Copies of this chain bind each other. A is one copy, B any other.
Amino acid sequence: MQHRPARLTDVALRAGVSPATASRVLNPSNRGVKDANRARVLAAAEELGYTTNIAAQAVARGRTTGVTLLLRVMPDDYANPIVAGVVDAVRNEGLPISLVVAGPQTKDIIDAVHIARGQRTQILMTTGGRRTDDKDLPALVDALQRYEAEGGRVVLISQEGLPFDTVTYANKQGAHDLAVSLVELGYRDFAILAGFANGMTQRDRTQGFLEGLGESGVSLSADRIVTGEFDRDAAYAATGDLLRRGIPIDAIFAVNDAMALGALTFLRDAGARGTGIGVAGFDDIKSLRDVTPALTTVHLPWDDVAAEALDLALSERVDGPRLRVVHGHVVIRESTPRRG
- Whose C-beta in chain B lies nearest to the C-beta of A101? B87
The interface residues of chain B lying within 8 Å CB-to-CB of A9 are none
Q: A59 to B64, alpha carbons, bound, how many Å? A: 14
The interface residues of chain B lying within 8 Å CB-to-CB of A261 are 290
CB of A132 within 8 Å of the partner chain:
no
Known: A96-B115, A151-B2. A286 touches B55 (CB 8 A): no
Stretch from A10-18, A46-54, A177-185 contacting the other chain? A46-54
Q: Tell me the smallest distance from the CB of A156 to a CB of chain B, in Å.
A: 19
Q: A2 to B150, alpha carbons, bound, how many Å? A: 6
Q: Check A91–B96 contact: CB distance below 8 A.
A: no
The interface residues of chain B lying within 8 Å CB-to-CB of A1 are 149
Select which of B3, B56, B76 is within 8 A of A286 by beta carbon.
B76
- Whose C-beta in chain B lies nearest to the C-beta of A88? B74
Q: Check B74–A64 contact: CB distance below 8 A.
A: no
CB of A292 within 8 Å of the partner chain:
yes
The interface residues of chain B lying within 8 Å CB-to-CB of A2 are 149-151
Select which of B98, B119, B149 is within 8 A of A100 by beta carbon.
B98
Q: A149 to B51, alpha carbons, bound, how many Å? A: 14
Select which of B5, B87, B265 is within 8 A of A290 by beta carbon.
B265
Q: How many residues of A contact B (CB 8 A)?
A: 53
- Whose C-beta in chain B lies nearest to the C-beta of A119? B54
Select which of B68, B120, B286 is within 8 A of A77 by beta carbon.
B286
CB of A4 within 8 Å of the partner chain:
yes
Q: Tell me the smallest distance from the CB of A88 to a CB of chain B, in Å.
A: 7
**Residues of chain A from 124 to 176 with CB closer than 8 A to chain B in the complex:** 146, 149-151
**Residues of chain A from 260 to 313 with CB closer than 8 A to chain B in the complex:** 261, 264-265, 268, 285-287, 289-292
25 pairs, A vs B, C-beta closer than 8 Å: A2-B149, A2-B151, A51-B117, A53-B59, A53-B118, A53-B120, A54-B115, A54-B119, A54-B120, A74-B83, A74-B84, A76-B84, A77-B77, A77-B285, A91-B101, A96-B100, A96-B115, A98-B98, A98-B100, A232-B289, A261-B290, A264-B290, A265-B289, A265-B290, A292-B292
Given contacts A97-B101, A99-B99, 12 further A-B contacts (CB under 8 A): A1-B149, A2-B149, A4-B150, A55-B56, A55-B64, A59-B59, A74-B83, A74-B88, A76-B84, A91-B103, A96-B100, A290-B290
